[in-house]
Structure 1
Amino acid sequence: MTTIATTPITPGAARSLKNRVSTSETLSHTITMAYRGLLKIKRTPEQLFDVTLQPIIFTVMFTYIFGGAIAGDVQSYLPIIIPGILVQTVISTSIVTGVQLREDMDKGVFDRFRSLPIARIAPLSGALLADTVRYLIATTLTFVMGYLMGLRPEGGLGGVIGAALLVIVCAWSLSWIFAFFGVIARSASSVQGISMLILFPLTFLSNAFVPVDTMPGWLQWFVDINPVSYIVTAVRDLVNSGTIGADFGWSLVGSAVVVAVFAPLTVKAYMRRA
Structure 2
Amino acid sequence: MTTVTTGKEGADALDFVAPKADELAALLVGHSRPPRPSALSASMTFGWRAMLKIKHVPEQLFDVTAFPIMMVLMYTYLFGGALAGSVSSYIQFLLPGILVMSVVMITMYTGVSVNTDIEKGVFDRFRTLPIWRPAPMVGYLLGDVVRYLIASAVMLTVGMIIGYRPDGGVVGVLLGVALLLVFSFAFSWIWTMFGLLLRSEKSVMGVSMMVIFPLTFLSNVFVDPKTMPGWLQAFVNNSPVTHLATAVRELMAGNWPAADIAWSLGWSALLVVVFGAVTMRLYNRK
Shift of 1:145: 0.8
Q: Distance in 2 between matches of 1:127 and 1:227?
A: 23
Q: How many residues align?
A: 261
1:217 aligns to what? 230
Tell whether the 8 Å contact from 1:84 to 1:207 is kept in structure 2 after alignment: yes
Shift of 1:10: 6.9
Aligned pair partner of 1:74 in 81, 84, 87: 87
Q: Distance in 1 between matches of 2:264 and 2:206?
A: 25
Tell whether the 8 Å contact from 1:159 to 1:241 is kept in structure 2 after alignment: yes
TM-score norm. by structure 2 comes to 0.87
Shift of 1:171: 0.7
The percent identity for this pair of structures is 48
1:94 aligns to what? 107
Q: Distance in 2 between matches of 1:151 and 1:255?
A: 28
In structure 2, do the counterparts of structure 1 residues 244 and 218 end up closer, same or farther at CA, with 3 Å as the change threshold? closer
Amino acid at match of 2:224: P
Amino acid at match of 1:231: L
Where 1:152 maps in the other structure, the secondary structure is coil
2:97 aligns to what? 84
1:230 aligns to what? 243
Aligned pair partner of 1:110 in 84, 101, 123: 123
Where 1:210 maps in the other structure, the secondary structure is coil
Amino acid at match of 1:129: L
| 2:257 is equivalent to residue 239 of structure 1 | no
2:73 aligns to what? 60
- Where does 1:177-256 land on structure 2 (aligned, <5 Å)? 177-256=190-269
Amino acid at match of 2:54: I
TM-score norm. by structure 1 comes to 0.91
Q: Distance in 2 between matches of 1:68 and 1:57?
A: 18
Aligned pair partner of 1:8 in 8, 15, 26: 26
Aligned pair partner of 2:143 in 113, 116, 130: 130
Shift of 1:8: 2.4
Shift of 1:79: 1.5
Where 2:256 maps in the other structure, the secondary structure is coil
Q: CA RMSD for the aligned pairs?
A: 1.9
Which residues of structure 2 form unaligned runs of 5+? 1-19
| 2:186 is equivalent to residue 173 of structure 1 | yes
In structure 2, do the counterparts of structure 1 residues 269 and 68 end up closer, same or farther at CA, with 3 Å as the change threshold? same
Segments of 4+ in structure 1 off by > 3 A? 4-7
Q: Distance in 2 between matches of 1:211 and 1:95?
A: 26
